[in-house]
Amino acid sequence: MSETVRRKGKVGYLLLAPAALWLVLFFVIPFYSLVATSLFDQGGSDFRGYQMTYAFGNYVDVVQEYAGPFGRSLLYGAIATAFCLVLGYVLAYAIAFKAGRWKNLMLVLVIAPFFTSFLVRTLSWKLILADDGFIVNTLQTLQVLGDDGRLLATPIAVVAGLTYNFLPFMVLPLYASIDKIDHRLIEASSDLYANPFVGFFKVTWPLSLPGVVSGTLLTFIPAVGDYINAQFLGSTNERVIGNVIQAQFTDANNYPVASALSVLLMVLILAMVLVYVRRAGTEDLL
Amino acid sequence: MSQLAEDVAARAASDPTYDGLRLSGLTKSFGGGFTAVDALDLDVPKGSFFALLGPSGCGKTTTLRMVAGLETPTSGSIVLGGNDITYAKPYRRPVNTVFQSYALFPHLDIFENVAFGLRRRKSAQVKEKVEQMLELVELTEQSRKKPAQLSGGQQQRVALARALINEPEVLLLDEPLGALDLKLRRAMQIEIKRIQTEVQQTFIHVTHDQEEAMTMADTVAVMNAGVIEQMGAPAELYENPRSTFVANFLGQSNLISGTVVSRAADVVTVEMHGIQVSVPTGRTHVDGDQGWVGIRPEKVLLGEPGEQLDAPGNTIPGGVITDVSFVGVSTQYLVRMPWGQELQIFEQNTGRRRMFASGEKVELSWRPEYAFLLDQSQDATAGAQRDGQ
């Protein structure tokens, strides 16, 4: 008995080994290096080399200088996540409960965009939102936009792009959760005097919360870190933290600042996610 | 059957202030031409414990779902206490259901599950009422647990409490004991019966288990292929079935082919395979002269050839025992008759009579008042297969 338990343990470790090795090589070591770099002396460069000076001041500098892009990243990410949740919930609900035999086809359509490149899809939004494109023209005709109003290079374009790009990450976990809900529970709620509206908020919504939590996380985390949408669909006024980090690494070659920004972003997201999961997890989740 | 429908229709017309539940001409057809419930007429008196009994697929659950409002009738009407609720939304009917799967809300604890209906109707004193109800079903200790932490029997009681607390005019029970093991099922049958006596509300219990229907209900309606075959008190249905389906579905019956040879005022004489037997007129349900003579296995006495038995009247000689099963309270015999048919006979194990062995020659005998006569146009094996239990 104890022999088999021990052997099972060994097999477990063996199965874990390849992924663990991979993560040590390509995550733990680079991460250590990233944190170390963030504490290097800013005076260094590629040619002269850097000195480890435990320059925690890097973080102070970074916060003072780049609070704007940080705030925008979080704001755009949060708004896009909210839009994704509303659009995605309705879509996932329709696929799970109303699609019937079209269910599988609709799920394929949800993930179909993944078959083309993220970059290409974002660039095509440039055409959709272009100044002489039909959306802008229509909005101008309807007087929603002024005659020289535009969508491209505005926060609206950035949020729209983010919402579009991350919608599938919201829909799939939501669908998985909603599809699992036993229809008889909804019948039971209507038998117990809940009209469809009340029944939704008392039964369907709470039972879909696991999908809501994982969907919002899968959308929010990459949306905050994303800079492609801001770069292609926004102007310099919509620069998000990802743009800054990229510029610091590749253009300014200021590795300590870029690293400090990266570490800060990571810690920030991690803290927010922990608080969120904690609150959602202890209250209404199963 | 048509007689029954006419009776109900006549009553419906003569009494517009009926305070029970009245189904008139209720029909439900599904796509593809399948009719689950066919012009059903049914009166359920207020305060009664009513059982709708039938094999799976007979339309009993569809009937129940129409009363609950979870299914819309194709035609016909549902009137409850004088109000037409045929097309009322389920959440606007004074009707609650105990679902077969219980359908307890997994994210709510037992207290909130039971309180659900009260909270929706903004009822006062929710806490007191729920506590009282949990006491009735003996679940006070479990009130803060989630449904998944409860045993099957406890979940069943939560489902019952959750429906009952709303004091519905009609409580619908959809095979509520189907998922429980035999012992627990027996206990719950008594429990539900006790609660019904206590609360005095109308219960409609749907089941395919004839024993369950007979133990619990004061009125049983036997349903088959979308229509009611026969309705009445359990003993009445059992002792005087009107169709082969009821004779076979409720307990077991020996059905022997026979021809009516003479009819007197109170007795009909039937010849079956050369032997004349008599059946009381009130127990004959034949259109023509061809019939099935029916007798319950426990009503038949077994004796040696020529032995004087306590049942003068119908004596059938020439049987040979082909199988003996001793089951404790009784011994079950199979007896092959001269015309080739095997009859089933249950002898109570009183200890006063000896057991017969396989191969022995025997004589059968029964009192005329126990026999019944059914129409030969009906299938003698209808309702005999009661599987899925």
Q: Residues with Cβ < 8 Å from A275, sequence gap 6 or more?
A: none
* Range ranked top by mean pLDDT from A48-62, B11-25, B163-177: B163-177
pLDDT over 70, % of chain B: 94
A192 and B166: CB-CB below 8 Å?
yes
Is there a contact between B337 and B331 (Cβ–Cβ < 8 Å)? no
What value does the mean pLDDT take over residues A84-101?
Answer: 95
What value does the mean pLDDT take over residues A154-180?
Answer: 95
Chain B CB within 8 Å of residue A283 CB: no
CA angle at A108 for the pair A107 and A109, rounded to the nearest 5°: 90
Chain B CB within 8 Å of residue A187 CB: yes
B91 closest CB neighbour out of A182, A194, A206: A194
Q: Which residue has the higher pLDDT, B100 or B353?
A: B100
B91 closest CB neighbour out of A190, A207, A284: A190
Q: What is the pLDDT of residue A281?
A: 66
What value does the mean pLDDT take over residues A93-116?
Answer: 93
pLDDT at residue B320 above 70? yes
Q: What is the CATH number of domain A66-282?
A: 1.10.3720.10
pLDDT at residue B1 above 50? no
Q: What is the pLDDT of residue B377?
A: 87
pLDDT over 90, % of chain A: 69
What value does the mean pLDDT take over residues B346-361?
Answer: 90
Output the average pLDDT for chain B: 89
* Chain B nearest C-alpha distance from A185 (Å): 5
- A125-133: long-range contacts, CB 8 A cutoff, minimum separation 24: A125/A157, A125/A160, A125/A161, A125/A164, A125/A232, A125/A233, A126/A152, A126/A232, A126/A233, A129/A157, A129/A160, A129/A233
A286 and B107: CB-CB below 8 Å?
yes
CA angle at B336 for the pair B330 and B339, rounded to the nearest 5°: 145
Q: Quick one: which of B35, B100, B92 has its CA closest to B64?
A: B100
pLDDT in tens, A14-26: 999 999 999 999 9
Chain A CB within 8 Å of residue B101 CB: yes
pLDDT at residue B264 above 90? no
Chain B partners within 8 Å of A202 (Cβ): 116
Chain A CB within 8 Å of residue B19 CB: no
Q: Residues with Cβ < 8 Å from A261, sequence gap 6 or more?
A: A62, A66, A241, A244, A245, A248
B91 and A191: CB-CB below 8 Å?
yes
pLDDT in tens, B73-85: 999 999 999 999 9
Question: How many Å apart are CA B187 and CA B200, to the nearest integer?
Answer: 20
Q: Quick one: which of B116, B202, B204, B205 has its CA closest to B161?
A: B116
Chain A CB within 8 Å of residue B103 CB: yes
pLDDT at residue B273 above 50? yes
Chain B CB within 8 Å of residue A183 CB: no
Position B388 confidence tier, pLDDT thresholds 50, 70, 90: very low
Nearest residue on chain A to B172, alpha-carbon basis: A191
Q: Quick one: which of B66, B65, B57 has its CA closest to B36?
A: B57
pLDDT in tens, A245-268: 999 988 888 899 999 999 999 999
| Mutation target vs A (from B71, B105, B130, B158; most A CBs, 10 A cutoff) | B105
Position A114 confidence tier, pLDDT thresholds 50, 70, 90: confident
Position A286 confidence tier, pLDDT thresholds 50, 70, 90: very low
Q: What is the pLDDT of residue B385?
A: 61
| Mutation target vs A (from B70, B89, B112, B116; most A CBs, 10 A cutoff) | B116
Query: Torsions phi, psi of A176, nearest 5?
Result: -60, -40
Chain B CB within 8 Å of residue A197 CB: no
Domain coordinates in residue numbering, chain B: 2-239, 252-375
Chain A partners within 8 Å of B66 (Cβ): none
B162 and A192: CB-CB below 8 Å?
yes
CATH superfamily membership of B2-239: P-loop containing nucleotide triphosphate hydrolases (3.40.50.300)
What value does the mean pLDDT take over residues B239-262?
Answer: 93
pLDDT at residue A186 above 90? yes
Q: Which residue has the higher pLDDT, B343 or B178?
A: B343
Q: What is the pLDDT of residue A190?
A: 96
pLDDT at residue B13 above 80? no
pLDDT at residue A149 above 90? no
pLDDT at residue B265 above 90? no
| Mutation target vs A (from B93, B104, B120; most A CBs, 10 A cutoff) | B120
Question: How many Å apart are CA B334 and CA B328, to the nearest integer?
Answer: 16
pTM of the model: 0.82
Q: What is the pLDDT of residue B18?
A: 84
Query: Torsions phi, psi of A32, nearest 5?
Result: -60, -45
Q: What is the pLDDT of residue B341?
A: 93
Chain A partners within 8 Å of B166 (Cβ): 192-193
Nearest residue on chain B to A187, alpha-carbon basis: B70
Nearest residue on chain B to A205, alpha-carbon basis: B107
DSSP H or E segment with residue B290: strand B290-295
Chain B partners within 8 Å of A184 (Cβ): 99, 101, 103
ipTM over 0.90: no
B70 and A207: CB-CB below 8 Å?
no
A187 and B99: CB-CB below 8 Å?
yes
Q: What is the pLDDT of residue A7?
A: 62
Q: What is the pLDDT of residue B14?
A: 47
Chain B partners within 8 Å of A193 (Cβ): 91-92, 117, 120-121, 166
B103 and A185: CB-CB below 8 Å?
yes
pLDDT at residue A1 above 50? no
pLDDT at residue B389 above 60? no
Query: Torsions phi, psi of B303, nearest 5?
Result: -145, 165
Topology (CATH) of B252-375: OB fold (Dihydrolipoamide Acetyltransferase, E2P) (2.40.50)
Q: What is the pLDDT of residue B6?
A: 54
